[in-house]
Each structure stands twice: as C-alpha cells, then as structure tokens.
Structure 1
C-alpha cells in the first residue's frame, strides 16, 4: 500500500513507537471468542488491552509521548486532561520515570478512576463538567507553571503509541479482515487504522461509540471538528470533545475509518454483561462497545475480526449491578 503522505501519522511513526515502548507495556493477547464467532458467523478474536498494568490501552501512547520528550521537559513535570484511563497512564509512567504529574479531570470522571490515579502519586485537579473544562485547566497550568502537556489523543506520538496495537493484530491474525475499535477522540482508532491499513489495505476499521455525545462521529458528519455536549454514559472513557483545533486525529478518522456505529446505553450494558458471563472478563463500558455492536447486530463482519477490548477499569459496584441485571 502507498501511504497517504498528507496524513499526520505514518506507519514509520508507529514502528518507531513499537521499538520505543518495548518492555514498558504488555504485548497483549488476542484470544478467540467462540460465542461471538458463532453469533457473527465469522472468527472473532478479542484484543485484551485490559492486561496492561493500568488496565487499559492508554499506557502505549502515554509512554511513547513521554519518552519522546527531552529530559528537561519531563523534569518540569507533566500535565494532562483525562476521562480517567489516560490520566492513569500518565501517572503510572511518571512514577516509573521519577517525575511529577498533574491530572485534570471533570466531575463526570468516575470516582474509582480518580482514586486509582491518586494512588499513583499524581496531583489531581477536578475542574468543571466536561473534558473541555479540564483541558482549559491544563492550558492554564502550562502557562503559569510551565508544566509539559501530554495530550490524551491529538498528538502524533500518542497516536503512534496506540497504533502499535495494529501491528500486533496483523502479526497475530495475518488474515485480519475487520477491526472493531472504540472511538472517542480518535487516538486509538486513528493509530490502529494507520498501522493496519499500511499492512492490510483491504481490512475494514469500524469505530464504535455511544449515542450520548459521540464527538468524532459528529465532527465527521459535519466535515470539521464541532462542539458536542458531554453526557453521562456507561462508556465514560469515550466522553469529551475532539478539540475545535484538532490537528491529528480528525483527519485520520475521516480518511481511514470505514464506518462508525453508535450504541444505546442498554446495548453497552449488554456488552459488559456478555464479557463477564461468556468471556470471563471484567470490561468497562468503553471496552465493551465492540462486543456490544456484534450482539446488537449493528456490524456486518467480513472475515476474521479483531475486537479491541480497550479497558477494564469499571466501578466495581456498577459492574456488580449490571451483571446481576437480567438480559432483556
């Protein structure tokens, strides 16, 4: 495949990221799902990013971005906005490297994710009711304290780090035909699409999001980044906007995704329940959306399929309540 030279992230960027983060992240397993394969009529495999030390894929992009910095920039201290998992990744990497981290989050971030970040020694700032509010605080801290920002998604090194998942998918499943990937700001979907499309041009990359506040879907429909009201959802990690001045992920998702599927809250809940009951996996809402899309018959799978199970950091009480609820 001849890569589009105008896209902001290349296969070479992803390959460099793979070398840089080797040893710092887990090469996660790709496991078959007999129940989903039977339902879909195609071989379905789950890419378990829940196996990362922080329980989510975000560690790949965070470590790549932080290791790409000059030492002086790291030593000034790191800062980021997060819906939970990226903040945990930055806090974890900062602790490993012996530098400070400040994580800005809105009041919509679940308490279990906030406490997990606090336990890693990061400074916590709860600001406003949206990811945009948290990002405003990041920009203030960059200006006033000269902290070094680690963007949650709209950054070449963050995207390249997430894209290493795509390299692993093609290596582990050479006849890969479809990837179902959670879609939020586009760092995960865009990075995987860059890697997979470079190696398997005919493979389809389908972004999966929720009906409540799907910012990238709204942006692609509008042909440009737009403001979207952030709402409470079981897929809380997929919340937040993509930034009106988006430089990286909008173009990647616009040009490389083969479709976007939106899910209801009941459908996401069904995905979480299936993961627990049939796959023996504890999965948060954002991580369950690929499973949910198959269960809801909202995707047509053409050949061997990889479902990105992006994270497992769900509030235990919410998980217990969902698993105890009978399926409709």
Structure 2
C-alpha cells in the first residue's frame, strides 16, 4: 500500500488540546528555565528573556511533541513500533522517548546527514535507515516503509497531537512570566509556532507572537505576506529549512501571529555567536534566526518584555568552532596582519615587542621568503593577533605604522 506524501492534513487545535498534552508529558519532560538575558538585553537596549529549550531532553523542544504523540498510541501500535523522517531534533526526540517507553523506533535520515547525528540517534535506541537527499525526498519512502511494517508514522510538524505538545512551551513561558509582551518563535514546518500561538493567545490575548525564518527558507513568511518564497542553498538554520510547512499550521499562523520576519545567513551566524559570547549558551541556527529577527527590529521591541524560544542547541561542534573564530574575527578580537619587511635579523622581535607593549597577544606567525609579490631582499610576514576589540586593533595598526612598518589587514576576513 502506497501512502500519499502530498496529502494535506487539516486539523483543529485549541487550548484544551494543549493543556491535555501538557498534563500528559509534564512528568517526563524538563520544565526548562525562562531566564533574563541580562548582558544581551543591555547590549541591545531591550528586555529580553530566553526560554532554554536547548536544555530539554535531546537538547530541543521536539521531545515534547514526540512524547505527546507516543502517549496516544494503543498497546498494539506500541508493539508495532513507530517511524519518523528527520535529520535532527525530531529524530532524537522520537528515539529517546520511544526507547524509554519500550516502543521500537525506526528513523529515516537523508543522505548526507552528519555522522554524529546518525550515531546519536542510533545510540538513543532507534534503527536508522539512510534514504533520500532531504526531507521531501525521504518522507514518501518513510510512509511506504511505515505501511510495509505496520508502524505508526510520527510527522515532525503536521500532526495535531505533536503540535499540541510543542504548544506547551508557551504555557510554561506564561506561567513563568505572565508579563511577557511578545514571544519570538522560529518557524520551519510551523508546528512550534502554531502550538505556541494558540496557547499564548488563549492565555493572554494581547500578547504578540512573531515568527522568525531563515531568508533562504522563508515559506511561512511568503505565505503570510502573499509573496514568492526563497529556496536557495544551505542554511545554518538547518532545523527550520522546510520548503512546505503544514497547511493547518499556516492557517493558525495567519490567524494568531502578528508578523513573520526572516534573517540572512550572516545575521543568523552573528546571532548564534551573540548567544554564546554574551549569554554563554550553545544554540543552533534556528534559535539564531529568532535572535536575528529581534536584532533587526529593535524599535518594535523597545519598552516591551520579549521572550525568545532558544529552540535547540544541537549544532555540530566543528561548525561551532569555525563560527566562533569567525565571530572573533568580526569583532576584531582575532585579526590577521600582513607585513612586508626587510629580510634582516630583528624584524620579528621588533613587531612582537610593539604588539605586546600594546596589550595584544601574538598567536600565530608565518614567515614567507618565497612570495613573488615582494622583492628578493624582502619577506612577507603574517601574524595573527588576539586583541580586545576593533578599536584596539586600530590602535595597534597606528603604532606599527608610526614605527615605519608596512602592514595591512587582508580584506578577505
């Protein structure tokens, strides 16, 4: 039997469904903190509070909806097992709670899924099957495999029970701080914002719910604005890189959400770095999209108490390390200086002394004599320094030039 992957699910969702899901899952989920982002608030000039779903089981909110769905299964369905299609947070949420409840699980992950995500999902007790080039390519295969094995398919965002489970985030936030004026929520398939919008507007009708997307995958924004969508390239916010949000979720967004904004890749990268450097929080790109939208609209949030859902913290460690270095470079805290010097003794010592006396630290030196861009009796010296900020770098450059040194900062940074 072949299931139709393109069948559009329509469902009704109300506050009673979300409260019921909350009662069902609260004993087995973490009531994650809602904390004031003190340093970021000071930096941005707004009153920002962070809902730390990166501290949830499997480090993402997806564990809520997965558990809510699993708890509705009959004994026979539990025995037959469940199947899901995901490359990340939904996969791990389903695998974690299914294993905990003694339910067999299969997770279909697209080709190219990072090995650490595959291994982490398998470690949580799921059978991992690799198929397809992305969610859209993999979902039909998943539905067919579900029918073949008699397993229950758990959709990551197009299921009313899953959406109700995600909506419990808003219930917690308004219990923790009833004075929130706005909540900013990342949007991929729309399950999180749909559930949260219904919950938040039911509890506090005057609250603003604002959606955040990556510009490269802005299907929900396009639907909301009645404009063409962008689908191009890879995004740091891979958890919300969805081409086709659930129609039912889009309907809820149009009804309850005040606006949907998007952020560029550079803005998302900056925001993830800000969460790490200002608040010491590891957040994935989807959460960065939320903060980037806030940073792009500071006038909108002035004088308001703003809640941001840090929806997950599952960012690849190698990617994070590169992001940190790039962020430090943008801030001027790590800078590469290139000198053209006479190839004579003492030059490096002089440069190092000037940099050290200025309060910076030399962390890497490359001395090139073979570069044809300089004359035969000269050399190119590349020095990477650690400084306080860009103003400190500018002061050091001035000192070096005042001492007769030919130095430049490459523009490729």
Same fold (TM over 0.5): yes
Q: Is 1:153–1:186's contact at 8 Å kept on the other side of the alignment?
A: yes
Displacement of 1:40 in angstroms is 4.1
Deviations 1:199-249 (A, max 9, x none): 1111111111101122222333449xx997474210010012336xx4531
More strand by share: 2
Match of 2:38 in 1: 34
SS at match of 2:51: strand
Structure 1 range deviating more: 36-45 or 262-271: 36-45
Determine if the alignment matches structure 1 residue 327 to structure 2 residue 327. Answer: no
Structure 1 range deviating more: 146-155 or 104-113: 104-113
SS at match of 2:235: coil
* Total equivalences in the alignment: 319
Deviations 1:33-55 (A, max 9, x none): 12332344331100000111200
Q: Is 1:83–1:239's contact at 8 Å kept on the other side of the alignment?
A: no
Match of 2:203 in 1: 199
Displacement of 1:26 in angstroms is 0.1
Match of 1:60 in 2: 64
SS at match of 1:190: helix
Alignment of 1:292-307 (within 5 A): 292-297=292-297, 300-301=300-301, 303-307=304-308
Alignment of 1:1-328 (within 5 A): 8-107=12-111, 109-222=113-226, 229=231, 231-242=233-244, 246=246, 248-297=248-297, 300-301=300-301, 303-325=304-326, 326-327=329-330
Gaps of 5+ in 1: 1-5
Deviations 1:53-76 (A, max 9, x none): 200000000000110111211211
**d(CA) in 2 for partners of 1:9 and 1:280?**
36
- C-alpha distance 206-111 of structure 1, shift in aligned 2 (>3 A): farther
Larger RCO of the pair (alpha carbons < 8 Å, separation 6+): 1
SS at match of 1:281: coil
- C-alpha distance 299-185 of structure 1, shift in aligned 2 (>3 A): farther
**TM-score normalized by the length of structure 2:** 0.73
- C-alpha distance 299-205 of structure 1, shift in aligned 2 (>3 A): farther
SS at match of 2:58: coil
**d(CA) in 2 for partners of 1:209 and 1:270?**
15
Q: Is 1:131–1:239's contact at 8 Å kept on the other side of the alignment?
A: no
State the superposition RMSD in angstroms: 2.1
